[in-house]
Structure 1
Amino acid sequence: MALEESSMHKYAVKSLVQAVQHLSLARNIETVMHIVRRTARDISGADGATFVLRDNGMCYYADEDAISPLWKGQRFPMHSCVSGWSMLHRESVVIEDIYADSRIPIDAYRPTFVKSLVMVPIRSIEPIGAIGTYWAHQHLPAEEDVIMLQSLADITAVTMENIQVYNELEDRVKERTRELINSLNREKEMSVRRRQFFSMASHELKTPLTSILTSASILEDYNEGQYAEQRAKHISRINASSQQLIGIVNDFLASDKIEEGKTEMVFEFFDIKQFATAVIEQMDSSLKNGQTIRYTHRGDTTIVLVKNILHNILLNLLSNASKYSCEDQPIDLYIEIADNELTIQIRDQGIGIPAEDQPYIFNNFFRAKNTAGIEGTGLGLHIVKRYMELLNGCVHFSSRDKEGTVFTVRCRGRQ
């Protein structure tokens, strides 16, 4: 008999040592429960084992390993079950006869095989759970068996705390990795944007500057009386090229302010008809020969919006309509205010947008493949879209290659 007990004790110690090794590698609570419930049976010779977690004043029977079902998945109040008593009193419970102990909720145990049990708390200070072992016959475990079970519970507590620390560290590493990846992606995007900017600027700024310098040089050779017509022509070229430069610079400034979140949002009450007429007059000097803007208005004439943003939106869309249309082609501008909602529609009969380019037309620096030889920064429509987002509005378009384009913007005025 003594030899058998010695052999069983050695097996229990071996099982506990193996459990310690396996628990040291565990990275989640499911793995811990699997190891502990099997080890608890091995070291105690029990017919069943449960893994109980403390959950907001309840005992949650999270896992079990037994000869027949016990209470897996069920919750019981802390004050009405033995696992709760063990956690509240921070001590082990040994019950040889469950029907003779007042701490046992008999109705919960009657359908089960359990006749005797041992319950040990997981962590002696502020227990976070308990490990239960059960026998199908009356059984009083040896003191060393209870000590072994409590040792398993103590090791389990350390493992669970380590998993929590590990998971927190892993979350921090993941978050830091995401931040680094986002930072690298932003840096790559900025690098691409810088390359696009310098490539575009070298071309787009060079053209109007060359025109200005050439016209200014020619003007030096003309006197006012004899070459008045030629002087006026070159002065007009200088003005147009200067306006083009101003437009390019304004696009850059607007884009930077939007990306940095520094766009000023000053809402004001104004007359939309007077506003649109002023923008059309501003466009007159940059329209191609024979181009006209045909303006139609319906509905109310006043609204509360960010006037400077709306000015940039309308100017960008009208400039595009002119730029991508031929001489003598009209541009239609339709504005309506109904129920405090503003709708602006601009229709041209220009080169249109190829179908394969349409999904990317609002991307930064994007230019459709049919715009080669036409000046532009690829910023205008991106700015329009971002401006409409700031106004909680929307912009959409319809276009057919070589047949023209219609852009529509909508937003509500502030009450």
Structure 2
Amino acid sequence: MAARKVLYLEDNPLDAQLAGNALQRLGVMVDLHVVETADDYRGALAREAYDLVISDSGVPGCEGHESLWLAQQIQPGVPFLYFSGHADQLAAEAGLDAGAQDFIDKRDLWRLKHTVRMLLERPDGNSDTALLHDYSRRQAQLIQAVKQLGRARCLDDIDHVVRTVTRELVLADGATFVLREGEQCYYLAEDAISPLWQGRRFPMSACVSGWAMQHKQQVVIPDIYLDDRVPHAAYRPTFVKSMVMTPVRQTDPIAAIGTYWAQPCLPSHDELALLQDLADSVALALENVTSYDSLQQKLNNRADQLRAVNHELEAFSYSLSHDLRAPLRAINGFGNILLEEHLQSLSPDGRHYLLRICAEAARMNDQIDDLHKLFLLSSQPVRRSTVNLSLMASGVMGRLRQQDGRRTAAVSIAPNLTVSADHGLLMIALEHLLGNAWKYTNRSPGAVIEVGVQPSAHADEVFYVRDNGVGFDSSRASKLFSPFQRYHSDREFNGTGIGLAMAQRIVHLHGGRIWAESAEGEGACFYFTLPVAD
């Protein structure tokens, strides 16, 4: 029997070696191809057919479910496994819902061997049979969703069905449930690979969901930047490239279901029909619950509950961060004892492993510190005063120069930038934004960092921090602000991946927005809005 070809995306050489050793002892001939970067992964999928794809869940350039999505698009039907060091229950459920065969913790090598053997030993399937099976699966999902909607007695029940079914029904990268509130669209809930607009309201005339409800028809947009109905500025910071908006109740729409794709996509007629069938079922469910007035009241109550849950989460995270420190201190303490007293007696491999353990323990301690700071921001009141943003930026840049006297960079800061903001919070946000610009221009000859403001059609000014550093792929810009999401490894640039999340939280606390634009190798620009001082 010919060797079964397996593609493995893993940027940690030690993890790749451990998994490779395990797969060579399966009893099944395996031709393992290991790739470390997102570009090599795409190239491998395009060049050669594989019997199985295995992927870490956090490789820079393929965060979240992007590696799974690429495998599904380039080699439809190929079995896919997540082999991750972050295999918590929520991540595992999300991976399975997205189409992975399994989500395995890296500590469970025995489970990896068992699952891989099972997948590689099963007979090849017929493509027509696979298509029929996929169609039957989607129909079964729709039938199950209709049954659940028929039993719905409140908005929460309907919301749960829409969030858990819509993406899987058409293999989308995101889905939203939008309610009509008078002349506004309220984005009640979402399930997506990165945040969209949950909890926000927009005028009916300013969003595609409003257009679909006003015109009482399903909207199919293969390329959002070629359609005038799409508010391009609102979508540019997101992952969305294609979308379908389906009205709920065609005669007099009261809601809409949005589905989004991260790559250009034109859904089939069958998929559009499935979405419309789901929307029609949601319409019946909404009519079966209490009156529309009570529905609005429940939405208000839901907002209060979400605020309470956020406070509870912050308290839980604070407690968790403290409980984690006890075993971490033990790891650090005993590791340092070994380094000081027994390092020379260890083998070269033993020294390498010990140094890795101590380094990872230190990194985890930094992550806990930053995560705790992030949650503290949510409960901190905003005390506004008139702040000179120009002077603050100059001070931050001066400290950065003192910390690294060997660095040179041309810094341009627009004069007299004043805002109404919390001085302490704004200082934290600016330190992270300018710190990133300083860090990612480290390898740029003739480094340039600029702080300025640009005209805006709205009341608030749009400020920016621009650099000519390494940049990033703008199609994934929205993920930058998620905690611990990084596009570069520690070998390239150090950091915990929490700074931009803190900057975003601070800007949001002030009622502003923050987004980024960039291209790889061409620098980055971070925009944010703040109230202008009177």
* Common topology (TM > 0.5): no
TM class, shorter-length: 0.3 to 0.5
* TM-score of the two chains, using structure 1 as the length reference: 0.39
* TM-score of the two chains, using structure 2 as the length reference: 0.31
